[in-house]
Amino acid sequence: MEDKKNLFSAIQPSGILTIGNYLGALRHFRALQDDYNGIFSLADLHTLTVRQDPAVLRKNIYELTALYLACGIDAEKSILFAQSHVSAHTELAWVLNTICYPGELMRMTQYKDKSKKHEDNINMGLMDYPVLMAADILLYQTELVPIGADQKQHLELARDLAIRFNNLYGETFKVPEGYIGKSAARVMSLAEPTRKMSKSDANLNAFISMNDDPDTIIRKFKRAVTDSDNQIIASPEKPGITNLLTIYSAFTNKTIEDAEKEFAGKGYGDFKIAVGEAVAEVIEPIRQEKNRLLANKDYLDDVLKCGAERAERIAYRTLNKVYRKVGLVQRKRG
């Protein structure tokens, strides 16, 4: 790989992503791969902490692979692979488990939240997946990790485990830093604008998925919750309009202030349609390209195969070093 800093990012293939996922992560990847060694993973093992329909999960893995590519990931310039295709991830996770403390994992906010949501399946993977996430990151001597606010705790654990291992066994891992994009728009639900937009929302009108066609996108924005008066201004007292202004400015690369001026004196109806059209103009070419790629599963399989082979070469250099440091005897080949 080129002499650039390594950047690692992983997304779970647990459903169709929303425009929130696009604005927070996917749209930045095309540019980031020019400035960094981009290592992009489908975190398929992480999805298993919650019960999955096997056929749906396989479909989602291909969907996310195609979406990565449609959003501009260059499979030759960057490494794109499925986490489960590189066994070093789970192997390093075991070693890191031996220096991680139960209290650290039980304090994780996401563990507490998911335990409440999935009371019928509070499994060890649900508690332990931050250690696997740390292994994902540390295997590639990662220096930068794009994160959202909900992942800060997990990145901090990865940093702590890297430092702890280095202190115990000598310099082994680079200690990763968080990368937060300059324009990380926080996209809220169209139905309840005080909550974050989520692909798992039971109300299909509450989110815009990367699979929605232009008519669906505009229809959902027409139904978006707004506020009592008719002023199109961003304000804590106007969460609905503020959310729509945030989305519009993110998709048009305009400031909130410019958007407010553009729609001054106009009604909510016209504004909602304009937001929908701005989003559809960006999302539709991506959706069409993703569908084109999905029609060629052999190509997607080849991308994942080549990506896994490239990822393995880096990952096993790190893992072999770890095994030597902890005292394991290297297997003789041939």
For the chain, give every domain's residue range. 6-184+297-326, 204-291
- The answer to whether 136 touches 169, Cβ cutoff 8 Å, is no
**Catalytic residue, candidates 5, 196, 222, 321:** 196
3.40.50.620, 3.90.1150.10, 3.40.109.10, 3.90.79.10: CATH of 6-184+297-326? 3.40.50.620
User: How many secondary structure helices (H) and strands (E) does the chain include?
Assistant: 14, 5
Q: Which of 5, 174, 199, 254 is catalytic?
A: 199
Helix (H) or strand (E) segment spanning residue 115: helix 109-117
Predicted pLDDT at 151: 76
pTM over 0.95: no
Question: How many beta carbons lie within 10 A of that of residue 74, not counting itself?
Answer: 13
User: Low-confidence residues of the chain, pLDDT below 70?
Assistant: 1-2, 111-119, 149-150, 181-185, 334
114 is catalytic: yes
2 and 139 in contact (C-beta within 8 Å)?
Answer: no
Q: What is the model's pLDDT at position 82?
A: 98
List CB contacts of 31: < 8 A, sequence separation 6 or more. none
> Which pair of structure tokens corresponds to residue 71?
């959003």
Q: 21 with 210: CB under 8 angstroms?
A: yes
Q: What is the rounded end-to-end Cα distance, in angstroms, of the chain?
A: 28
196 is catalytic: yes
State the pLDDT at residue 184: 54
How many CB atoms are located within 10 Å of the residue 322 CB?
22
Instruction: Give the CATH number of domain 204-291; options: 1.20.120.550, 1.20.120.10, 1.10.240.10, 3.40.50.10860.
Output: 1.10.240.10
Residues with Cβ within 8 Å of 305's Cβ and at least 6 positions away in sequence, in order, are: 85
Look at residues 149, 249, 209, 242 and name the one whose alpha carbon lies nearest to residue 22.
209
Between β-strands 177-179 and 144-146, what pairing exists: parallel, antiparallel or unpaired? parallel
Q: What are phi and psi of 6, to 5 degrees?
A: -85, 130
199 belongs to the catalytic site: yes
Using alpha carbons, list the distances in angstroms from residue 46 to 13, 90, 141, 190, 209: 9, 11, 20, 28, 21
Considering 114, 220, 238, 272, which one is annotated as catalytic? 114
pLDDT tens for residues 295-311?
999 999 999 999 999 99
